[in-house]
Amino acid sequence: GENVEQHPSTLSVQEGDSAVIKCTYSDSASNYFPWYKQELGKGPQLIIDIRSNVGEKKDQRIAVTLNKTAKHFSLHITETQPEDSAVYFCAASVGNEKLTFGTGTRLTIIP
Amino acid sequence: GAVVSQHPSWVICKSGTSVKIECRSLDFQATTMFWYRQFPKQSLMLMATSNEGSKATYEQGVEKDKFLINHASLTLSTLTVTSAHPEDSSFYICSTNSGRDEQYFGPGTRLTVT
């Protein structure tokens, strides 16, 4: 089955700087890669996703890149703000089948 | 994105009792719902996939007789934790898609078994 690895497990960034979280996956059949933000005591919130026919996608301060050959994808957050502090999870799936999640990254924005 | 609700948001029960958690898709018909469990500071672990009108598919290691899932309508799926024990204490989260790739999650239910 699919295995998704995520690094780093914790990340502290000065407010205004950029944050990068990286994930690798094992199943070459995976073609859908979402990123979720989870705040304490809440369910995960979909913040951006990318499909295997695209190499990069951007939504305001958030961007995701995908390298299918190397089987890795990354989340980039620019101009970080205190409200970006949360746990971020990457995931992978084959179409609308079950998601396999990474282990999570706790991002802390230092004011 | 889709709106998913869960009820209750938190519940405390005594060991040996059963607890039912509801997951509702509020703005579209959810043919498939997923149930996850999340322990503190850990990732989400898929427990089962629930399809409307059919039996749920459980992940390896998840006891289907302990975690009963019913998906009787296109907007409601329920998870019943039977004979709950302290080790079942966790954060239970459901999600749904509309047949597309995107999964939208509910707010979660915190279960504490004393």
Mean pLDDT by 10 residues, chain A (111 residues): 96 98 97 97 96 93 96 98 98 90 98 94
CA distance B89 to chain A (A): 14
Residue A21 · residue A69 · CB < 8 Å? no
Q: What is the pLDDT of residue B29?
A: 84
Asked whether the beta carbons of A93 and A32 are under 8 A apart, the reply is yes
List of chain A residues whose C-beta atoms are within 8 Å of the C-beta of residue B32: 96
* pLDDT exceeds 90 at position B45: yes
Residue bearing tokens 């204490």: B89
Minimum-distance CB partner of A99 among B4, B103, B106: B103
CB A56, CB A65: distance < 8 Å? yes
Q: pLDDT at residue B17 above 90?
A: yes
A41 min Cα distance to partner chain B (Å) = 8
Strand order in the sheet with A4-7: A4-7, A19-25, A72-77, A62-67, A56-59
Identity of the residue in A43, A49, A89 whose CB atom sits nearest the CB atom of B43: A89
Q: Can you tell me the distance from the alpha carbon of B63 to that of B58, in angstroms, rounded to the nearest whole number?
A: 8
Which sign does the torsion angle of CA A94, A99, A105, A108 carry? positive
Tokens standing for residue A94: 């084959």
Please check whether residue A109 touches B, CB under 8 A.
no
Whether the predicted pLDDT of B60 surpasses 80: yes
Q: Which of A96, A98, A101 sits opposite B100 (nearest CB)?
A: A96
Q: Which amino acid is at A26?
A: S
Can you read off the two tokens belonging to residue B29? Answer: 């018909």
Chain segment B67-112, per-residue pLDDT in tens: 999 988 889 999 999 999 999 999 999 999 866 788 999 999 999 9
Task: Mark residue B83 as left, alpha or beta (left: phi above 0; alpha: psi -120 to 50; beta: remaining).
Answer: left
Q: Per-residue DSSP letters for A17-39?
A: S-EEEEEEE--TT--EEEEEEE-
**Distance between B11 CA and the closest CA of chain A, angstroms:** 14
Amino acid sitting at position B77: S
CB contact under 8 A, A104 and B43: yes
* Angstroms from A81 CA to nearest CA on chain B: 23
Cβ burial of B100 (10 Å; 0-12, 13-18, 19+) is exposed
pLDDT attached to residue A33:
97
Q: What is the pLDDT of residue B28?
A: 79
